[in-house]
Amino acid sequence: MISLQHLKSGALLVVILLFLGATMYNRNYKKVNKKFLVTLHITQDQSGVLAVDAARLAEIRTAIADASDFFTPIGISFEVGDVYYIDNYQYDVISTEEELTEMSGKYDKENRLNLYLFSMFDEEMAGGCGLAGQVTDANKNLFMSQACVNPVSFAHEMGHFFGLLHTFNPDDFNTTELVDGSNCDTDGDQICDTPADPYIPGSATGWVRDCAFIYEGQDANGDYYDPDIENIMSYYFESCACGLHFSPGQFKKMSETYFSAIDPLATNPVCVW
């Protein structure tokens, strides 16, 4: 006779086996094994004062190198290479995405990851920290307010560069991803080992306290959310700085995005720096 306890135990075993199977599948990713040279482009204000002085530049070099630790499982690392200075103060405070496109068109260096550092995004750009292109784009660039650059924020932007979405995608309203994972490949960040995340940027909702998720909202099925608050592609990392990481599924996605951007038959692929 099968008891309710046996059924519960059996269901739990199935869940565990499914999780282990997904984890093993997600770890089946190809390592990139590549150091990316990051070319810095630094703006100046109307008085000629650089957005990044010598001391801050040294900190940024270290931060970018330290961000490599988050990408160790797929063999990606970063190192600052050349540094250029933009003699045009109009780019020191960014008001529109068109300015970013214009700056990129003028100053990008080929076969390099171009990182533009300026004083700030203004209110028209919601006062953000950074915007990233993708490795599959013709132009390979990131744009960051220089004060925001640290190992985690750089890793976050590089996650976008290699094809990752926020765990709370879409950004402007509650995710439709279900807690039970039944639509994890089509909703949210479309990666199945990152739990559904209800975060909404700019919301006054209390999400995290003392590194614990406290939001009591429910998904469409009435299940309570339990996101990974230590995931680098979430927005909780500012509250919880311990154990930050990408998931195996995110590593797999980044690897696939990188290799989709190059011609594997080419002896000198143009997208590899």
Rounded to the nearest 10 degrees, what angle do helices 248-260 and 4-26 cross at? Answer: 30
**Both structure tokens of 154:** 């750089």
- The pLDDT, as a whole number, for residue 28 is 80
Residue 111 backbone class (left: φ over 0; alpha: ψ -120 to 50; beta: rest): left
Confidence at residue 122, expressed as pLDDT on a 0 to 100 scale: 86
Quote the pLDDT of residue 27.
67
Rg for the chain (alpha carbons), in Å?
21
Q: Which of 36-40, 76-80, 99-103, 124-128 has the lowest mean pLDDT?
A: 124-128
Tell me the per-residue pLDDT of 221-257, one tens digit each, with 9 for 90 and over: 999 999 999 999 999 877 777 789 999 999 999 999 9
Q: What is the pTM of this model?
A: 0.84
- Tens digit of pLDDT for each residue in 136-165? 777 789 999 999 999 999 999 999 999 999
Q: Which residues on adjacent β-strands are paired with residue 141?
A: 114
Residue 266's pLDDT is 36
pLDDT at 204 over 80: no
- Find the mean pLDDT for residues 85-102: 92
Residue 171 gets which letter from DSSP?
A: T
Q: State the number of CA atoms in the 13 A half-sphere of 52 facing the CB.
A: 24
Instruction: Check residue 55 and give its pLDDT.
Output: 96
Q: How far apart are CA 270 and CA 110, in angstroms?
A: 9
Check: CB of residue 257 under 8 Å from CB of residue 136.
Answer: yes
The mean per-residue pLDDT over the stretch 192-203 comes to 92
DSSP string, 40-78: EEE-B-TTS-BSS-HHHHHHHHHHHHHHGGGGGGGTEEE
18-57: pLDDT as tens digits: 444 444 445 688 999 999 999 999 999 999 999 999 999 9
Q: Residue 151, preceding bond cis, omega within 30 degrees?
A: no
